Amino acid sequence: MSTLIHTHPDASPLGKPVAYAQHYAPELLFPITRQGKRDEIGISGDALPFIGEDLWNAYELSWLDPRGKPVVALARFHVPAYSPRLIESKSLKLYLNAFNQTKVASVEVLTETLTRDLSAAAGAPVSVRVEPLSTRPQRHMGYPKGVLLDTLEIDVDRYTPAPSLLSADHALPHVGETLYSHLLKSNCLVTGQPDWAMLVVRYKGAPIDREGLLRYIISFRQHNEFHEQCVERVFTDILRECRPTALSVWARYTRRGGLDINPCRRTPGMPVPPDFAEIRQ
C-alpha cells in the first residue's frame, strides 16, 4: 500500500459529500500527522511525556465470504500513541465500508489486510481483532472505580480550554485516586460537530483540586480538536499544572459512523485502563 501523508485535516473527507466505494480501497485511508497539534502543547519530536494508545471499536464491518454470503463482525484496533500519524475517522469508515461487496477468503485474511493497511497509514504497528457476530462477542459496560465529579455544585463561565483552572495542594500528603466526569464535550476539528465522552483521570501525587478539574473538563465545551488531541492536551495540562508523580488520562467517546475512539495517555508504570464501555457507547 502506498500511503499519502497529510498534514492538515481540511483535506480530509470530513464534511464533504463522498461516493461509497463498492470494493476494497485502501487508498481511502487518510492519515494525519500528529506532530502539528503536539507542537501546540509543547511536545516535540520523539520526546513523548506519555505512553498509551488509541483504541477504536468498529461496529459496522461486513464482507462477502468466497460464496458471496455476507459476514458481519465487530472489530477492534489499537493504534500506539507513538505512531507518527492518526487516521481520520470518516476515512476509516469509508475504508471499512469498501469491504461490503468484497469477497474475503477468511477472517484471518481480513485481519491480515486490516493490520497491513492500518499500520501503513499510522506509521507504526496497529493490532487488529475481528470478531464475527456468529461467535457471539460480548461488550462489557461499566463505570470507573473512583470519584464522580459531576455532582459538585460549581459555577462555570469558561468554555474554551483553561489550564489555569487546574491546581494541586502540594502542602498536603500525596494521594492516589481516580476522578472522572461524563461532562466532557468537544467539537470535531473540521465539521464542528459535538463529540461526547467520559473522561477519567487517575494519578498519584499532591491532591488535585476537584472543582478546578471539573471546571477544566467543562472548558473544552466549545473547543475544536480531534479526540486523540484533546486527551493529549488534558494530559499535558494536568502534568504541567498539578505535577503528579504518576498520571493516566483516558476518554471513552460516543460512537459516530459506527466507530468509537478511546484514547489513553499515561506515564510509564501506570496500568492500562480497564476494558469496559461507557454506557453511551
For 63, the domain range is 9-135
Q: Are 231 and 250 in contact (CB under 8 A)?
A: yes
Same domain, 151 and 127: no
The per-residue b/e assignment along 128-165, b for 16 or more CB within 10 angstroms, e otherwise, is: bebebeeeeeeeeeeebeeeebeeeeeeeeeeebbbeb
Instruction: Identify the helix (H) or strand (E) that includes residue 58.
Output: strand 51-64
- Print pLDDT tens along the chain (281 aa): 445 555 566 555 555 566 778 899 999 999 999 999 999 999 987 789 999 999 999 999 999 999 999 999 999 999 999 999 999 999 999 999 999 999 999 999 999 999 999 999 999 999 999 999 999 999 999 999 999 999 999 999 999 999 999 999 999 999 999 999 999 999 999 899 999 999 999 999 999 999 999 999 999 999 999 999 999 999 999 999 999 999 999 999 999 999 999 999 999 999 999 999 999 99
Structural domain contains residue 76: yes
Bridge partners (DSSP) listed for residue 249:
201, 265
Q: What is the CATH number of the domain that holds 165?
A: 3.30.1130.10
Quote the pTM value. 0.92
The verdict on whether 237 is a catalytic residue reads no
The verdict on whether 188 is a catalytic residue reads yes
Same domain, 153 and 100: no
Structural domain contains residue 187: yes
Q: Are 163 and 209 in contact (CB under 8 A)?
A: no
Structural domain contains residue 271: no
Catalytically annotated residue among 195, 230, 237, 242: 195
Q: Are 111 and 151 in contact (CB under 8 A)?
A: no
Q: Whole-angstrom Cα distance, residue 248 to residue 16? A: 35
Catalytically annotated residue among 155, 157, 169, 188: 188
Q: Whole-angstrom Cα distance, residue 257 to residue 195? A: 12
Q: How buried is 265 (Cβ within 10 angstroms: 0-12 exposed, 13-18 middle, 19+ buried)?
A: buried
